[in-house]
Structure 1
Protein backbone atom coordinates (compact mmCIF):
# COMPACT_ATOMS: atom_id res chain seq x y z
CA UNK A 1 0.00 0.00 0.00
CA UNK A 2 1.28 3.44 -0.84
CA UNK A 3 2.15 5.43 2.26
CA UNK A 4 3.50 8.64 0.78
CA UNK A 5 2.06 10.79 -1.94
CA UNK A 6 5.40 11.13 -3.70
CA UNK A 7 5.31 7.40 -4.38
CA UNK A 8 2.28 7.76 -6.66
CA UNK A 9 3.11 7.25 -10.31
CA UNK A 10 3.32 10.35 -12.44
CA UNK A 11 0.16 10.12 -14.49
CA UNK A 12 -0.13 13.76 -15.44
CA UNK A 13 1.04 13.33 -19.01
CA UNK A 14 -1.85 13.73 -21.49
CA UNK A 15 -0.37 11.06 -23.75
CA UNK A 16 0.85 7.59 -22.94
CA UNK A 17 3.65 5.52 -24.36
CA UNK A 18 1.10 3.15 -25.87
CA UNK A 19 -0.41 5.94 -27.96
CA UNK A 20 2.97 7.00 -29.27
CA UNK A 21 2.69 10.45 -27.72
CA UNK A 22 -0.59 11.29 -29.42
CA UNK A 23 -2.05 14.64 -28.54
CA UNK A 24 -4.81 14.86 -25.96
CA UNK A 25 -8.36 15.23 -27.27
CA UNK A 26 -9.42 18.77 -28.03
CA UNK A 27 -11.95 20.57 -25.79
CA UNK A 28 -15.46 19.39 -26.45
CA UNK A 29 -14.41 15.93 -27.59
CA UNK A 30 -15.28 12.61 -25.91
CA UNK A 31 -14.73 12.94 -22.14
CA UNK A 32 -14.74 9.31 -21.03
CA UNK A 33 -11.18 8.23 -20.12
CA UNK A 34 -9.71 5.68 -22.55
CA UNK A 35 -6.57 4.76 -20.61
CA UNK A 36 -5.54 4.08 -17.04
CA UNK A 37 -4.10 7.48 -16.15
CA UNK A 38 -7.17 8.79 -14.38
CA UNK A 39 -7.74 5.43 -12.68
CA UNK A 40 -4.20 5.42 -11.30
CA UNK A 41 -4.55 8.95 -9.93
CA UNK A 42 -7.88 8.17 -8.31
CA UNK A 43 -6.47 4.98 -6.79
CA UNK A 44 -3.63 7.00 -5.26
CA UNK A 45 -6.15 9.47 -3.81
CA UNK A 46 -7.81 6.65 -1.83
CA UNK A 47 -4.63 5.97 0.20
CA UNK A 48 -5.29 6.22 3.95
CA UNK A 49 -1.86 7.68 4.67
CA UNK A 50 -1.92 10.66 2.30
CA UNK A 51 -1.06 13.97 3.90
CA UNK A 52 -2.77 17.25 3.10
CA UNK A 53 -0.12 18.33 0.60
CA UNK A 54 -0.10 15.00 -1.20
CA UNK A 55 -3.87 14.95 -1.49
CA UNK A 56 -3.93 18.45 -2.93
CA UNK A 57 -1.24 17.59 -5.48
CA UNK A 58 -3.10 14.47 -6.59
CA UNK A 59 -6.40 16.36 -6.83
CA UNK A 60 -4.70 19.03 -8.93
CA UNK A 61 -3.33 16.27 -11.17
CA UNK A 62 -6.83 14.81 -11.47
CA UNK A 63 -8.23 18.22 -12.41
CA UNK A 64 -5.58 18.47 -15.12
CA UNK A 65 -6.42 15.02 -16.47
CA UNK A 66 -10.11 15.85 -16.63
CA UNK A 67 -9.38 19.16 -18.36
CA UNK A 68 -7.05 17.50 -20.90
CA UNK A 69 -9.90 15.28 -22.09
CA UNK A 70 -12.15 18.20 -22.97
CA UNK A 71 -14.53 20.13 -20.75
CA UNK A 72 -17.37 21.59 -22.81
CA UNK A 73 -19.86 18.85 -21.87
CA UNK A 74 -19.30 19.55 -18.16
CA UNK A 75 -21.23 22.81 -18.60
CA UNK A 76 -24.37 20.88 -19.58
CA UNK A 77 -26.02 19.31 -16.51
CA UNK A 78 -27.29 16.14 -18.19
CA UNK A 79 -24.06 15.58 -20.08
CA UNK A 80 -22.04 16.20 -16.92
CA UNK A 81 -23.97 13.55 -14.99
CA UNK A 82 -23.52 11.08 -17.88
CA UNK A 83 -19.80 11.80 -17.78
CA UNK A 84 -19.68 11.20 -14.03
CA UNK A 85 -21.63 7.95 -14.38
CA UNK A 86 -19.35 6.62 -17.12
CA UNK A 87 -16.20 7.75 -15.33
CA UNK A 88 -17.15 6.21 -11.98
CA UNK A 89 -17.93 2.93 -13.76
CA UNK A 90 -14.52 3.06 -15.47
CA UNK A 91 -12.38 3.94 -12.44
CA UNK A 92 -14.15 1.52 -10.07
CA UNK A 93 -12.02 -1.53 -11.05
CA UNK A 94 -8.89 0.51 -10.23
CA UNK A 95 -9.93 1.18 -6.63
CA UNK A 96 -7.64 -0.92 -4.39
CA UNK A 97 -9.57 -3.16 -1.96
CA UNK A 98 -7.54 -4.87 0.77
CA UNK A 99 -8.69 -8.33 1.82
CA UNK A 100 -9.56 -9.22 5.41
CA UNK A 101 -6.16 -10.72 6.22
CA UNK A 102 -4.30 -7.69 4.88
CA UNK A 103 -6.54 -5.32 6.82
CA UNK A 104 -6.00 -7.22 10.08
CA UNK A 105 -2.23 -7.12 9.60
CA UNK A 106 -2.27 -3.44 8.73
CA UNK A 107 -4.39 -2.51 11.75
CA UNK A 108 -2.69 -4.74 14.34
CA UNK A 109 -5.34 -7.44 14.55
CA UNK A 110 -8.35 -5.27 15.47
CA UNK A 111 -11.60 -7.21 15.76
CA UNK A 112 -14.37 -6.74 13.21
CA UNK A 113 -16.25 -3.80 14.72
CA UNK A 114 -13.12 -1.95 15.82
CA UNK A 115 -11.55 -2.48 12.39
CA UNK A 116 -14.73 -1.33 10.63
CA UNK A 117 -14.81 1.81 12.77
CA UNK A 118 -11.18 2.54 11.91
CA UNK A 119 -11.92 2.17 8.20
CA UNK A 120 -14.90 4.50 8.41
CA UNK A 121 -12.87 7.05 10.36
CA UNK A 122 -10.04 6.93 7.82
CA UNK A 123 -12.48 7.32 4.92
CA UNK A 124 -14.15 10.28 6.64
CA UNK A 125 -10.75 11.93 7.02
CA UNK A 126 -9.92 11.21 3.37
CA UNK A 127 -13.14 12.60 1.87
CA UNK A 128 -13.00 15.60 4.17
CA UNK A 129 -9.43 16.07 2.97
CA UNK A 130 -10.56 16.00 -0.65
CA UNK A 131 -13.16 18.67 0.13
CA UNK A 132 -10.54 20.81 1.85
CA UNK A 133 -8.06 20.27 -0.98
CA UNK A 134 -10.73 21.15 -3.54
CA UNK A 135 -11.53 24.29 -1.59
CA UNK A 136 -7.84 25.17 -1.57
CA UNK A 137 -7.60 24.73 -5.33
CA UNK A 138 -10.73 26.83 -5.75
CA UNK A 139 -9.30 29.52 -3.49
CA UNK A 140 -6.30 29.83 -5.81
CA UNK A 141 -8.47 29.85 -8.92
CA UNK A 142 -10.73 32.59 -7.56
CA UNK A 143 -7.92 35.01 -8.35
CA UNK A 144 -7.18 33.49 -11.76
CA UNK A 145 -9.42 34.34 -14.71
CA UNK A 146 -11.60 32.89 -16.01
CA UNK A 147 -12.46 31.18 -12.72
CA UNK A 148 -15.92 29.96 -13.62
CA UNK A 149 -14.60 28.14 -16.68
CA UNK A 150 -12.61 25.79 -14.45
CA UNK A 151 -15.29 25.31 -11.76
CA UNK A 152 -17.13 22.37 -13.39
CA UNK A 153 -13.82 20.56 -13.90
CA UNK A 154 -12.92 20.92 -10.22
CA UNK A 155 -16.37 19.75 -9.15
CA UNK A 156 -16.19 16.71 -11.42
CA UNK A 157 -12.71 15.78 -10.18
CA UNK A 158 -13.67 16.15 -6.53
CA UNK A 159 -16.84 14.10 -7.00
CA UNK A 160 -14.95 11.24 -8.69
CA UNK A 161 -12.29 11.26 -5.94
CA UNK A 162 -14.84 11.16 -3.12
CA UNK A 163 -16.83 8.36 -4.75
CA UNK A 164 -13.63 6.32 -5.21
CA UNK A 165 -12.76 6.65 -1.52
CA UNK A 166 -16.27 5.55 -0.58
CA UNK A 167 -16.13 2.60 -3.00
CA UNK A 168 -12.94 1.47 -1.26
CA UNK A 169 -14.64 1.82 2.12
CA UNK A 170 -17.61 -0.28 0.98
CA UNK A 171 -15.38 -3.01 -0.44
CA UNK A 172 -13.23 -3.21 2.68
CA UNK A 173 -16.21 -3.21 5.05
CA UNK A 174 -17.56 -6.20 3.16
CA UNK A 175 -14.18 -7.90 3.62
CA UNK A 176 -14.15 -7.14 7.35
CA UNK A 177 -17.55 -8.75 7.87
CA UNK A 178 -16.75 -11.75 5.68
CA UNK A 179 -19.03 -10.86 2.77
CA UNK A 180 -16.60 -11.32 -0.08
CA UNK A 181 -17.51 -10.29 -3.60
CA UNK A 182 -16.65 -13.05 -6.09
CA UNK A 183 -15.67 -12.64 -9.70
CA UNK A 184 -13.17 -10.54 -11.64
CA UNK A 185 -12.11 -7.02 -10.68
CA UNK A 186 -14.63 -5.65 -13.19
CA UNK A 187 -17.47 -7.76 -11.83
CA UNK A 188 -16.67 -6.80 -8.24
CA UNK A 189 -16.54 -3.15 -9.31
CA UNK A 190 -20.10 -3.37 -10.67
CA UNK A 191 -21.30 -4.71 -7.31
CA UNK A 192 -19.47 -1.94 -5.46
CA UNK A 193 -20.98 0.75 -7.68
CA UNK A 194 -24.46 -0.68 -7.14
CA UNK A 195 -23.87 -0.76 -3.39
CA UNK A 196 -22.69 2.87 -3.41
CA UNK A 197 -25.67 4.02 -5.47
CA UNK A 198 -28.13 2.25 -3.16
CA UNK A 199 -26.15 3.19 -0.01
CA UNK A 200 -26.63 -0.41 1.17
CA UNK A 201 -24.54 -3.47 1.83
CA UNK A 202 -24.55 -6.25 -0.74
CA UNK A 203 -25.97 -9.73 -0.33
CA UNK A 204 -24.03 -11.66 -3.02
CA UNK A 205 -26.56 -14.52 -2.89
CA UNK A 206 -29.41 -12.44 -4.26
CA UNK A 207 -30.22 -12.75 -7.98
CA UNK A 208 -28.62 -10.00 -10.02
CA UNK A 209 -26.02 -9.16 -7.37
CA UNK A 210 -23.54 -11.96 -8.07
CA UNK A 211 -20.74 -12.26 -10.57
CA UNK A 212 -23.03 -11.73 -13.53
CA UNK A 213 -24.31 -8.40 -12.28
CA UNK A 214 -24.33 -5.52 -14.73
CA UNK A 215 -25.45 -1.93 -14.45
CA UNK A 216 -28.88 -2.17 -16.00
CA UNK A 217 -31.18 0.77 -16.73
CA UNK A 218 -32.58 1.00 -13.20
CA UNK A 219 -29.15 0.71 -11.57
CA UNK A 220 -27.66 3.37 -13.85
CA UNK A 221 -30.55 5.73 -13.06
CA UNK A 222 -29.99 5.20 -9.35
CA UNK A 223 -26.28 5.86 -9.82
CA UNK A 224 -26.95 9.01 -11.87
CA UNK A 225 -29.36 10.33 -9.23
CA UNK A 226 -26.89 9.67 -6.43
CA UNK A 227 -24.05 11.29 -8.36
CA UNK A 228 -26.19 14.33 -9.12
CA UNK A 229 -26.84 14.83 -5.42
CA UNK A 230 -23.14 14.44 -4.61
CA UNK A 231 -22.13 16.77 -7.45
CA UNK A 232 -24.52 19.40 -6.11
CA UNK A 233 -23.18 19.03 -2.58
CA UNK A 234 -19.67 19.65 -3.86
CA UNK A 235 -20.70 23.12 -5.03
CA UNK A 236 -19.72 24.23 -1.52
CA UNK A 237 -16.10 23.84 -2.65
CA UNK A 238 -16.54 27.04 -4.65
CA UNK A 239 -17.26 29.17 -1.58
CA UNK A 240 -14.98 32.18 -1.15
CA UNK A 241 -11.44 31.24 -0.23
CA UNK A 242 -11.02 28.88 2.74
CA UNK A 243 -14.71 29.04 3.71
CA UNK A 244 -15.44 26.66 0.84
CA UNK A 245 -12.72 24.28 2.00
CA UNK A 246 -14.07 24.09 5.55
CA UNK A 247 -17.70 23.56 4.54
CA UNK A 248 -16.86 21.06 1.77
CA UNK A 249 -14.66 19.07 4.12
CA UNK A 250 -17.38 18.91 6.77
CA UNK A 251 -20.13 17.87 4.35
CA UNK A 252 -17.98 15.24 2.65
CA UNK A 253 -16.99 13.73 5.97
CA UNK A 254 -20.56 13.69 7.27
CA UNK A 255 -21.85 11.95 4.13
CA UNK A 256 -19.09 9.34 4.29
CA UNK A 257 -19.77 8.67 7.97
CA UNK A 258 -23.47 8.13 7.21
CA UNK A 259 -22.65 5.75 4.35
CA UNK A 260 -20.19 3.78 6.45
CA UNK A 261 -22.65 3.40 9.31
CA UNK A 262 -25.42 2.16 7.00
CA UNK A 263 -23.13 -0.39 5.36
CA UNK A 264 -21.94 -1.63 8.76
CA UNK A 265 -25.50 -2.10 9.97
CA UNK A 266 -26.31 -4.14 6.87
CA UNK A 267 -23.26 -6.37 7.21
CA UNK A 268 -23.18 -7.10 10.92
CA UNK A 269 -23.88 -10.76 11.79
CA UNK A 270 -27.50 -11.49 12.67
CA UNK A 271 -28.97 -8.80 10.44
CA UNK A 272 -31.87 -9.77 8.15
CA UNK A 273 -31.06 -10.57 4.53
CA UNK A 274 -30.31 -7.41 2.57
CA UNK A 275 -32.98 -6.44 0.07
CA UNK A 276 -31.94 -5.97 -3.53
Structure 2
Protein backbone atom coordinates (compact mmCIF):
# COMPACT_ATOMS: atom_id res chain seq x y z
CA UNK A 1 0.00 0.00 0.00
CA UNK A 2 2.82 2.35 0.87
CA UNK A 3 4.49 1.65 -2.46
CA UNK A 4 1.25 2.42 -4.33
CA UNK A 5 0.82 5.68 -2.48
CA UNK A 6 4.29 6.83 -3.47
CA UNK A 7 3.65 5.93 -7.10
CA UNK A 8 0.35 7.80 -7.23
CA UNK A 9 1.78 10.90 -5.56
CA UNK A 10 2.61 13.46 -8.25
CA UNK A 11 4.79 16.31 -7.02
CA UNK A 12 3.81 19.78 -8.09
CA UNK A 13 6.17 21.43 -10.56
CA UNK A 14 7.31 24.95 -10.00
CA UNK A 15 7.78 24.56 -6.26
CA UNK A 16 9.47 27.20 -4.17
CA UNK A 17 12.99 26.35 -5.39
CA UNK A 18 11.97 26.34 -9.05
CA UNK A 19 9.98 29.57 -8.63
CA UNK A 20 13.05 31.18 -7.08
CA UNK A 21 15.22 30.04 -9.97
CA UNK A 22 12.69 31.46 -12.44
CA UNK A 23 12.77 34.82 -10.66
CA UNK A 24 16.58 34.78 -10.62
CA UNK A 25 16.73 34.01 -14.34
CA UNK A 26 14.33 36.86 -15.16
CA UNK A 27 16.28 39.32 -13.03
CA UNK A 28 19.60 38.27 -14.56
CA UNK A 29 18.31 38.68 -18.11
CA UNK A 30 17.02 42.20 -17.41
CA UNK A 31 20.31 43.45 -16.00
CA UNK A 32 22.53 45.80 -17.96
CA UNK A 33 25.78 43.91 -18.62
CA UNK A 34 29.10 45.56 -17.78
CA UNK A 35 30.34 45.17 -21.36
CA UNK A 36 29.70 47.93 -23.90
CA UNK A 37 30.19 46.00 -27.14
CA UNK A 38 26.95 44.38 -28.42
CA UNK A 39 28.87 41.17 -29.13
CA UNK A 40 30.28 41.06 -25.59
CA UNK A 41 26.87 41.91 -24.16
CA UNK A 42 25.26 38.98 -25.98
CA UNK A 43 28.02 36.67 -24.73
CA UNK A 44 27.40 37.92 -21.18
CA UNK A 45 23.68 37.19 -21.43
CA UNK A 46 24.35 33.71 -22.85
CA UNK A 47 26.81 32.90 -20.08
CA UNK A 48 24.68 34.22 -17.21
CA UNK A 49 21.41 32.98 -18.67
CA UNK A 50 22.87 29.56 -19.38
CA UNK A 51 23.85 29.07 -15.76
CA UNK A 52 20.40 30.00 -14.46
CA UNK A 53 18.55 28.11 -17.20
CA UNK A 54 20.43 24.88 -16.54
CA UNK A 55 19.57 25.12 -12.84
CA UNK A 56 15.91 25.82 -13.60
CA UNK A 57 15.46 23.02 -16.14
CA UNK A 58 17.47 20.65 -13.95
CA UNK A 59 15.27 21.30 -10.92
CA UNK A 60 12.05 20.85 -12.89
CA UNK A 61 13.40 17.74 -14.63
CA UNK A 62 14.01 16.15 -11.22
CA UNK A 63 10.50 17.11 -10.06
CA UNK A 64 8.88 15.62 -13.16
CA UNK A 65 11.15 12.57 -13.13
CA UNK A 66 10.21 11.70 -9.56
CA UNK A 67 6.60 11.20 -10.64
CA UNK A 68 7.60 8.22 -12.78
CA UNK A 69 5.25 9.37 -15.53
CA UNK A 70 8.05 10.62 -17.76
CA UNK A 71 9.74 7.23 -17.82
CA UNK A 72 6.44 5.52 -18.57
CA UNK A 73 5.41 7.84 -21.39
CA UNK A 74 8.83 8.68 -22.80
CA UNK A 75 8.68 11.14 -25.68
CA UNK A 76 4.90 10.99 -25.47
CA UNK A 77 4.86 12.95 -22.21
CA UNK A 78 1.42 14.29 -22.95
CA UNK A 79 -0.08 17.73 -23.16
CA UNK A 80 -2.64 16.81 -20.50
CA UNK A 81 0.07 15.99 -17.97
CA UNK A 82 1.93 19.21 -18.81
CA UNK A 83 -1.26 21.28 -18.62
CA UNK A 84 -2.16 19.84 -15.22
CA UNK A 85 1.28 20.70 -13.89
CA UNK A 86 1.22 24.18 -15.37
CA UNK A 87 -2.14 24.86 -13.67
CA UNK A 88 -0.64 23.72 -10.36
CA UNK A 89 2.49 25.80 -10.86
CA UNK A 90 0.85 29.04 -12.07
CA UNK A 91 -0.07 30.48 -8.64
CA UNK A 92 3.59 30.14 -7.60
CA UNK A 93 5.05 32.06 -10.54
CA UNK A 94 6.57 35.24 -9.04
CA UNK A 95 4.82 38.33 -10.44
CA UNK A 96 6.21 41.81 -9.73
CA UNK A 97 3.96 44.78 -9.10
CA UNK A 98 4.33 47.93 -11.18
CA UNK A 99 5.99 49.70 -8.23
CA UNK A 100 8.60 46.94 -8.03
CA UNK A 101 9.18 46.97 -11.78
CA UNK A 102 9.64 50.74 -11.85
CA UNK A 103 12.00 50.62 -8.88
CA UNK A 104 14.08 47.94 -10.60
CA UNK A 105 14.11 49.86 -13.91
CA UNK A 106 14.22 53.56 -12.94
CA UNK A 107 15.40 54.66 -16.40
CA UNK A 108 12.09 53.60 -18.00
CA UNK A 109 10.11 56.84 -18.33
CA UNK A 110 7.01 55.41 -20.04
CA UNK A 111 5.01 52.18 -20.02
CA UNK A 112 6.34 51.34 -23.49
CA UNK A 113 9.96 51.70 -22.38
CA UNK A 114 9.37 49.50 -19.34
CA UNK A 115 7.41 46.96 -21.38
CA UNK A 116 10.30 46.68 -23.85
CA UNK A 117 12.82 46.08 -21.04
CA UNK A 118 10.64 43.35 -19.55
CA UNK A 119 10.05 41.82 -22.98
CA UNK A 120 13.77 41.75 -23.75
CA UNK A 121 14.44 40.01 -20.45
CA UNK A 122 11.76 37.39 -21.11
CA UNK A 123 13.08 36.76 -24.64
CA UNK A 124 16.58 36.26 -23.28
CA UNK A 125 15.25 33.90 -20.61
CA UNK A 126 13.37 31.83 -23.20
CA UNK A 127 16.44 31.76 -25.42
CA UNK A 128 18.63 30.57 -22.54
CA UNK A 129 16.17 27.77 -21.77
CA UNK A 130 16.04 26.74 -25.42
CA UNK A 131 19.82 26.75 -25.68
CA UNK A 132 20.07 24.47 -22.66
CA UNK A 133 17.68 21.91 -24.13
CA UNK A 134 19.32 22.15 -27.55
CA UNK A 135 22.76 21.59 -26.07
CA UNK A 136 21.52 18.50 -24.24
CA UNK A 137 20.25 17.11 -27.55
CA UNK A 138 23.80 17.13 -28.88
CA UNK A 139 24.87 14.50 -26.36
CA UNK A 140 25.54 11.04 -27.89
CA UNK A 141 22.99 9.31 -25.62
CA UNK A 142 20.33 11.61 -24.08
CA UNK A 143 18.21 9.09 -22.12
CA UNK A 144 16.37 11.75 -20.13
CA UNK A 145 15.70 13.96 -23.12
CA UNK A 146 11.89 13.55 -23.21
CA UNK A 147 11.47 14.73 -19.63
CA UNK A 148 13.99 17.50 -20.22
CA UNK A 149 11.91 18.74 -23.16
CA UNK A 150 8.84 18.65 -20.90
CA UNK A 151 10.72 20.61 -18.24
CA UNK A 152 11.98 23.17 -20.75
CA UNK A 153 8.48 23.56 -22.23
CA UNK A 154 6.99 24.22 -18.78
CA UNK A 155 9.83 26.61 -17.90
CA UNK A 156 9.28 28.69 -21.04
CA UNK A 157 5.53 28.72 -20.40
CA UNK A 158 6.20 30.04 -16.89
CA UNK A 159 8.49 32.77 -18.27
CA UNK A 160 5.80 33.83 -20.74
CA UNK A 161 2.99 33.77 -18.17
CA UNK A 162 5.13 35.91 -15.89
CA UNK A 163 5.74 38.27 -18.81
CA UNK A 164 2.02 38.53 -19.61
CA UNK A 165 1.14 39.25 -15.98
CA UNK A 166 3.80 41.96 -15.67
CA UNK A 167 2.76 43.56 -18.97
CA UNK A 168 -0.76 43.86 -17.53
CA UNK A 169 0.79 45.61 -14.50
CA UNK A 170 2.74 47.94 -16.77
CA UNK A 171 -0.27 48.97 -18.84
CA UNK A 172 -2.49 49.50 -15.80
CA UNK A 173 -4.73 46.46 -16.27
CA UNK A 174 -3.68 43.91 -13.65
CA UNK A 175 -5.93 40.98 -12.82
CA UNK A 176 -7.51 41.19 -9.39
CA UNK A 177 -8.96 38.67 -6.96
CA UNK A 178 -7.36 35.75 -5.19
CA UNK A 179 -4.00 34.30 -6.20
CA UNK A 180 -5.82 31.42 -7.90
CA UNK A 181 -8.14 33.80 -9.79
CA UNK A 182 -5.26 35.95 -11.01
CA UNK A 183 -3.27 32.88 -12.03
CA UNK A 184 -6.28 31.53 -13.91
CA UNK A 185 -6.71 34.82 -15.76
CA UNK A 186 -3.08 34.89 -16.89
CA UNK A 187 -3.13 31.20 -17.83
CA UNK A 188 -6.13 31.93 -20.04
CA UNK A 189 -4.36 34.92 -21.60
CA UNK A 190 -1.31 32.74 -22.33
CA UNK A 191 -3.46 29.97 -23.83
CA UNK A 192 -5.20 32.53 -26.07
CA UNK A 193 -2.00 34.43 -26.87
CA UNK A 194 -3.67 37.77 -26.09
CA UNK A 195 -4.18 40.31 -23.34
CA UNK A 196 -7.10 39.93 -20.94
CA UNK A 197 -10.18 41.73 -22.23
CA UNK A 198 -10.68 44.97 -20.31
CA UNK A 199 -14.37 44.23 -19.81
CA UNK A 200 -13.46 41.04 -17.94
CA UNK A 201 -11.28 43.05 -15.56
CA UNK A 202 -13.91 45.64 -14.62
CA UNK A 203 -16.92 43.32 -14.29
CA UNK A 204 -17.25 41.80 -10.79
CA UNK A 205 -17.81 38.33 -12.24
CA UNK A 206 -15.30 38.80 -15.06
CA UNK A 207 -12.37 36.92 -13.55
CA UNK A 208 -14.60 34.34 -11.93
CA UNK A 209 -15.81 33.44 -15.40
CA UNK A 210 -12.18 32.85 -16.45
CA UNK A 211 -11.66 30.03 -13.97
CA UNK A 212 -9.44 27.23 -15.28
CA UNK A 213 -12.16 24.89 -16.49
CA UNK A 214 -12.20 22.21 -19.14
CA UNK A 215 -12.15 24.68 -22.05
CA UNK A 216 -9.07 26.50 -20.76
CA UNK A 217 -7.32 23.23 -19.94
CA UNK A 218 -7.99 22.05 -23.49
CA UNK A 219 -6.39 25.22 -24.86
CA UNK A 220 -3.41 24.76 -22.55
CA UNK A 221 -3.02 21.15 -23.67
CA UNK A 222 -3.06 22.11 -27.34
CA UNK A 223 -0.53 24.90 -26.89
CA UNK A 224 1.84 22.83 -24.75
CA UNK A 225 1.56 19.84 -27.08
CA UNK A 226 2.38 21.99 -30.11
CA UNK A 227 5.41 23.39 -28.34
CA UNK A 228 6.63 19.95 -27.28
CA UNK A 229 6.15 18.39 -30.72
CA UNK A 230 8.15 21.18 -32.33
CA UNK A 231 11.05 20.30 -30.04
CA UNK A 232 10.95 16.52 -30.43
CA UNK A 233 13.37 16.61 -33.40
CA UNK A 234 15.90 17.59 -30.71
CA UNK A 235 15.91 13.93 -29.74
CA UNK A 236 17.91 13.15 -32.88
CA UNK A 237 21.54 14.05 -32.14
CA UNK A 238 22.98 16.78 -34.34
CA UNK A 239 19.58 17.58 -35.87
CA UNK A 240 19.02 20.59 -33.68
CA UNK A 241 21.39 22.39 -31.37
CA UNK A 242 21.62 25.12 -28.80
CA UNK A 243 21.51 27.93 -31.35
CA UNK A 244 18.31 26.75 -33.02
CA UNK A 245 16.58 26.06 -29.72
CA UNK A 246 17.44 29.55 -28.49
CA UNK A 247 16.30 31.20 -31.72
CA UNK A 248 12.96 29.38 -31.75
CA UNK A 249 12.16 30.33 -28.17
CA UNK A 250 13.25 33.93 -28.53
CA UNK A 251 11.12 34.37 -31.66
CA UNK A 252 8.03 32.76 -30.11
CA UNK A 253 8.25 34.81 -26.90
CA UNK A 254 8.74 38.04 -28.86
CA UNK A 255 5.71 37.27 -31.04
CA UNK A 256 3.56 36.62 -27.96
CA UNK A 257 4.78 39.79 -26.23
CA UNK A 258 4.10 41.93 -29.30
CA UNK A 259 0.54 40.63 -29.53
CA UNK A 260 -0.21 41.18 -25.85
CA UNK A 261 1.36 44.64 -25.90
CA UNK A 262 -0.67 45.61 -28.97
CA UNK A 263 -3.84 44.50 -27.18
CA UNK A 264 -3.07 46.36 -23.96
CA UNK A 265 -1.59 49.53 -25.44
CA UNK A 266 -4.85 50.25 -27.27
CA UNK A 267 -6.96 50.18 -24.10
CA UNK A 268 -7.50 52.65 -21.28
CA UNK A 269 -5.91 51.81 -17.94
CA UNK A 270 -8.30 50.90 -15.14
CA UNK A 271 -6.89 53.78 -13.06
CA UNK A 272 -5.72 56.83 -15.08
CA UNK A 273 -3.20 57.77 -12.38
CA UNK A 274 -1.67 54.32 -11.96
CA UNK A 275 1.70 55.13 -13.58
CA UNK A 276 2.44 58.18 -11.44
CA UNK A 277 1.26 56.39 -8.30
CA UNK A 278 3.89 53.68 -8.83
CA UNK A 279 6.79 56.11 -9.38
CA UNK A 280 9.99 55.05 -7.59
CA UNK A 281 10.62 56.75 -4.27
CA UNK A 282 13.81 56.57 -2.26
CA UNK A 283 14.28 52.82 -1.95
CA UNK A 284 13.67 49.86 -4.17
CA UNK A 285 10.66 47.73 -3.44
CA UNK A 286 11.33 44.07 -2.83
CA UNK A 287 8.44 41.98 -4.03
CA UNK A 288 7.73 38.99 -6.19
Q: Deviations over 1:78-109 (max 9, x none)?
A: x6111101011011111111111111111115
| CA contact 1:194–1:215 (8 Å) conserved in 2 | yes
Unaligned runs of 5+ residues in structure 2 are: 30-47, 269-288
Match of residue 223 from structure 2 = 226
Asked if residue 191 in structure 1 is aligned to residue 217 in structure 2, the reply is no
Q: CA deviation at 1:54?
A: 2.5
Instruction: Give the alignment's TM-score, normalised by structure 2.
Output: 0.75
| CA contact 2:111–2:170 (8 Å) conserved in 1 | yes
Over 3 Å counting, the alpha-carbon distance change for 1:231 and 1:267 in structure 2 is same
Task: Tell me how far apart the structure 1 counterparts of residues 79 and 98 of structure 2 sit (CA, whole Å).
Answer: 34
Greater Cα offset, 224-233 or 254-263: 224-233
Task: Report the structure number with the largest CA radius of gyration.
Answer: 2
Match of residue 96 from structure 1 = 94
Unaligned runs of 5+ residues in structure 1 are: 1-21, 272-276
Q: 3-state DSSP class of the match of 1:205?
A: helix
Task: Tell me how far apart the structure 2 counterparts of residues 43 and 73 of structure 1 sit (CA, whole Å).
Answer: 29
Task: Tell me how far apart the structure 2 counterparts of residues 265 and 197 of structure 1 sit (CA, whole Å).
Answer: 17
Match of residue 253 from structure 1 = 250
Q: CA deviation at 1:24?
A: 11
Task: Tell me how far apart the structure 2 counterparts of residues 217 and 178 of structure 1 sit (CA, whole Å).
Answer: 29
Task: Tell me how far apart the structure 2 counterparts of residues 247 and 69 of structure 1 sit (CA, whole Å).
Answer: 30
Task: Please point out which of 166, 176, 190 is paired with 1:172.
Answer: 166
How many residues are treated as equivalent by the alignment? 241
Asked if residue 40 in structure 1 is aligned to residue 20 in structure 2, the reply is no
If each structure's helix is expressed as a fraction of its own residues, which one has the higher value? 2
Over 3 Å counting, the alpha-carbon distance change for 1:156 and 1:216 in structure 2 is same
Q: CA deviation at 1:177?
A: 0.2
Match of residue 32 from structure 2 = none
Cα RMSD, aligned residues only: 2.7
Over 3 Å counting, the alpha-carbon distance change for 1:31 and 1:165 in structure 2 is farther
Instruction: Give the alignment's TM-score, normalised by structure 1.
Output: 0.78
Greater Cα offset, 101-110 or 192-201: 101-110
| CA contact 2:54–2:132 (8 Å) conserved in 1 | yes
Task: Tell me how far apart the structure 2 counterparts of residues 233 and 240 of structure 1 sit (CA, whole Å).
Answer: 15
Match of residue 215 from structure 1 = 212
Q: 3-state DSSP class of the match of 2:242?
A: helix
